[in-house]
Chains A and B, each alone.
Chain A
Amino acid sequence: MKVTREHYRSVKDLPSAEFVAPGSPLCAGCGGLTTLRLFHKVLGGKVVVVNAAGCMTLMATYPFTPLRSSWLYTTMASPSAGAQGLRDALDILIESGRLPADENLEVLVLAGDGSTIDMGLSSTSGAIHRGLNFWYLCYDNEAYGNTGFQASPASPLGSLTATSPLGTPWSKKDIFEIWRSHRPPYVATISPHDAVDLAEKIERARPLCGPKLFVSLATCPPGWGFEPAMGDELAKLAIETGIWPLKEATDGSIRHTFIPEHRRPVEAYLEPQRRYRHLFHPDRRDDVIAAIQAAVDRYWDAAIASERC
Chain B
Amino acid sequence: MTRTMLTGNAAAAWGARLAEACYVPAFPITPQTEIIETLAGWFADGSMRGRFVTLDSEHSMMTAAGAAAAAGVRTFAATSSQGLLYAMEVLYTVAGWRVPFVLVNVSRGLSAPITLGPDHNDVLAARDSGFIQLHAETCQEVLDSILMAYRIAEDDRVSVPVLVNLDGFFLSFTREPVELPDPEEVRRFLAAPESRPPGFSASRPAARGVAVLEGPTYSYFRYQLHLAVEQARVVHEEAAEEFERRFGRRHGMIDGYQLDDAETVLIMAGSFATKGRAAVDRWRAEGRRVGLLRLRMIRPWPTAELAAALSGRKAVAVLDQDLAPGLGGILFQEVAAVLARCPVRPSILRSFVGGLGGKEISRAEFDHVLQVTEQAGPNEGPVGPVLLMTAREAEQVGQRLRIAGHVPEEALP
Please list the residues of chain A having a beta carbon within 8 angstroms of any beta carbon in chain B: 45-46, 48, 50, 57-58, 60-63, 65, 67-75, 77-78, 80-86, 88-93, 96, 98-99, 102-105, 122-123, 125-127, 129-130
Contact = CB atoms under 8 A, between A and B. Distances in A.
A92 B22 contact: yes
Given A72-B70, A84-B53, A93-B71, A123 B211 contact: no
B207 A60 contact: yes
Contacts of B51: 88, 91-92
B210 A61 contact: yes
A105 B203 CA distance: 10
Contact of B65 (A58, A85, A123): A85
6 contacts: A67-B205, A75-B63, A84-B53, A85-B23, A92-B51, A96-B193
A91 B68 CA distance: 10
Contact of B68 (A60, A89, A98): A89
A283 to B, nearest CB: 43
Given A85-B65, A122-B56, A70 B200 contact: yes
Given A85-B65, A89-B72, A126-B57, 8 more contacts: A75-B63, A77-B89, A82-B63, A84-B55, A85-B69, A85-B71, A90-B71, A98-B193
Contact of B198 (A58, A74, A103): A103
Interface string B16-34: 0000001101000000000
Contacts of B93: 74-75
B217 A72 contact: no
A103 B205 CA distance: 10
B206 interface: yes
B40 to A, nearest CB: 15
B201 interface: yes
A98 B71 contact: no
Q: Which of B68, B71, B206 has the largest count of A CB atoms less than 10 A from its CB?
A: B71
Interface string B38-67: 000000000000110111110111011111
B1 interface: no
The B interface is mostly helix, strand or loop, or mixed, namely mixed
A48 B56 contact: no
Contact of B67 (A81, A122, A125): A81
B63 A90 contact: no
Nearest to B57: A122
Nearest to B74: A92
Q: Which of A57, A72, A86, A99 has the largest count of B CB atoms less than 10 A from its CB?
A: A72
B369 to A, nearest CB: 42
A46 B202 contact: yes
B200 A90 contact: yes
B55 A81 contact: yes
B211 A62 contact: yes
B75 to A, nearest CB: 8
B288 interface: no
A91 to B, nearest CB: 7
Q: Which of A63, A71, A80, A84 has the largest count of B CB atoms less than 10 A from its CB?
A: A84
B60 A84 contact: yes
A74 B63 CA distance: 7
Contacts of A96: 22, 193
Contacts of B68: 85-86, 88-89, 92
